[in-house]
Structure 1
């Protein structure tokens, strides 16, 4: 599906599954990537706009996604132009002349690298909060879990109960996009998805782990929890089968969340990439203290 063509031969079209491999390779040079983009592509109908590829002379040169995550809110990521093709306006045309029209007046959230703050502000974005990607060994902590806390596989809990809890933590409730996304997210090969239940059987935590496409790396997110102790219990069980000496875990936190900052300190994780959550067309007020790790800074930063 071609969205727009220019006289110089530049074309913006819909991203395909095979294109995603190239885009993930671009981003994998910055930090480990998993199957996040593949999952997102599978969640939306083939005719759905929001997944963009820029092509020039038969070569893929640029990318971006602008996808709805709930009513009135979009998430943007994977904005990239291959280095040898920069300076020709390919990224600007893809983003401003094609993708922007799809977003319209809806709120758009992005996680921008620090050095892009001024440029994005000129385009109308406003600052939200800092987002930091952490990494480190899956350290074992000698902590007693909260009394009465039960950890179960997501598959052993009523999916509707999991969604009800996710509604409390996600940027917007009852999103059909989120529901379709989590159905696939919980089933990622080589991954692990857990829920935390209180003594009354109510869901008070949700944690997921997925393997990176390459290397001994594992990405954690979402990690939602009632409190710090519940978050620690989830992450300890999520990573219990990993090798402390060989494996590396990665997770992204919202810096205003003091409990999340304490969690990464307890785990002795190191900050790797600093980003800034920015908003266009309003502020969805997405920061929530239950969010200890974002789902994915690649496709769903909530």
Structure 2
């Protein structure tokens, strides 16, 4: 597969590092509210996984197709700017992204009204993710088990993260943990890591992700601690619908459903431990 294609003055090519912010700008224009510094971290996940579509020198769309290890991929940032929709450019950039992930199980978190189109491309629904929003408010004092996740050995955090995700994602995670403005807690009991969660700023508050925990009590301790750090600010939590305890967590903190996505896979199924996933990392990277 070539790195770029040309058709009627339309080119699809890899985004260079200095161009990567364009993807977040287009997402913000769609009202997706990406984290303020998400894209720099996303780029560390796979520098060959971000594409822009250019028509006669003007960028009109984008998509990401990030590779995880040898077996998985995830599609996000699928956007064509309004004036050029319905003209075939979206399908071209979509096909290009899927081709770059050939032979892998491919996941995505798509808007619900596009499910039929994804099904036509071979995707199958796995579950929904529900976005909850509200004001951050700690319900209890900070749990004694909580420590700043950045103070733990990185390999310990990476190993726990891999057990709740497709597989290891060390380059991304190192950037995610270290990014300015990203705050996180881990729950440690008897020197064992039981869960961790991060919040990061977006234009109108903070987004949670990930929030991984061995059980609901640990998840509550972590989320309560995160809320205490940003008391009164807007907070977002994206919960897999299959995690009943995660839905109860959102209800306990009086968060209100505002949006949902369809988690879908192509090329096979993924048996993620959703009972440990109380907040997905992002709709863009899974």
Which consecutive unaligned segments of at least 5 residues does structure 1 have? none
Distance in 1 of aligned mates of 2:44 and 2:141: 39
- Which of the numbers 146, 153, 156 marks the counterpart of 1:158? 153
Which consecutive unaligned segments of at least 5 residues does structure 2 have? none
Evaluate the alpha carbon distance shift between residue 43 and residue 115 of structure 1 in structure 2; reply closer, same or farther with a 3 A threshold: closer
Distance in 2 of aligned mates of 1:181 and 1:193: 15
Question: Which is worse superposed, 67-76 or 179-188?
Answer: 67-76
Secondary structure of 1:240 counterpart: helix
Distance in 1 of aligned mates of 2:5 and 2:165: 37
Say whether residues 1:27 and 2:27 are aligned partners. yes
The CA RMSD over aligned residues, in Å, is 1.7
- Which of the numbers 167, 174, 191 marks the counterpart of 2:182? 191
**1:287 positional shift:** 4.2
Task: Give the equivalent residue in structure 2 for 1:39.
Answer: 41
Say whether residues 1:130 and 2:118 are aligned partners. no
Distance in 2 of aligned mates of 1:13 and 1:195: 39
TM-score (normalised: structure 2): 0.93
Task: Give the equivalent residue in structure 1 for 2:222.
Answer: 234
**1:143 positional shift:** 7.0
Say whether residues 1:223 and 2:211 are aligned partners. yes
CA contact under 8 A between 1:232 and 1:263: conserved in structure 2? yes
**1:223 positional shift:** 0.5
Secondary structure of 1:11 counterpart: strand
Per-residue deviation, residues 33-92 of structure 1 (Å, max 9, x unmatched)? 1122221213434xx3x2110000111111111111233011110001000011221111
Distance in 1 of aligned mates of 2:44 and 2:166: 21
Distance in 2 of aligned mates of 1:168 and 1:43: 17
Aligned length: 283
CA contact under 8 A between 2:125 and 2:265: conserved in structure 1? yes
Task: Give the equivalent residue in structure 2 for 1:57.
Answer: 56
Secondary structure of 1:286 counterpart: coil
Say whether residues 1:263 and 2:249 are aligned partners. yes
CA contact under 8 A between 2:128 and 2:262: conserved in structure 1? yes
Distance in 2 of aligned mates of 1:249 and 1:17: 29
**1:17 positional shift:** 3.3
Question: Which is worse superposed, 33-42 or 200-209?
Answer: 33-42
CA contact under 8 A between 1:37 and 1:298: conserved in structure 2? no
Evaluate the alpha carbon distance shift between residue 143 and residue 265 of structure 1 in structure 2; reply closer, same or farther with a 3 A threshold: farther
Distance in 1 of aligned mates of 2:209 and 2:7: 43
Distance in 1 of aligned mates of 2:54 and 2:255: 39
